Amino acid sequence: MACTHMTVAGSSAAAFTNSASRCFSSTDKIEPSSFGPPRIWGSTLSSLSSVCPSQLRVSRVKSLSIRRSVISPVVRASQGPSERSYVMIKPDGVQRGLVGEIISRFEKKGFTLIGLKLYTCSSELAKEHYKDLSSKPFFPKLVEYITSGPVVCLALKGPGVVASARKLIGATNPLQAEPGTIRGDLGIETGRNVVHGSDSPENGEREIALWFKEDEVCEWEPSMMPWLRE
- Residue ranges at the known binding site for ATP: 90, 138, 166, 172, 183, 193
- Report the binding-site residues: 90, 138, 166, 172, 183, 193
User: Residue 25 gets which letter from DSSP?
Assistant: -
Alpha carbon 62 to chain centroid, angstroms: 32
Report the C-alpha gap between 162 and 176 in whole angstroms: 20
CA distance between the termini of the chain: 38
**What are the backbone angles phi and psi of residue 172, rounded to the nearest 5°?**
-55, -45
Strand partners, 152: 89, 118
Active site residue 196: yes
DSSP-assigned letter for residue 191: G
Q: Where are the alpha helices (DSSP H) in the chain?
A: 13-23, 45-51, 68-71, 91-95, 99-109, 123-129, 139-146, 161-169, 182-186, 201-211
Which three-class secondary structure state does DSSP give residue 98?
coil
Catalytic residue among 115, 196, 208, 211: 196
Catalytic positions, written as ranges = 196
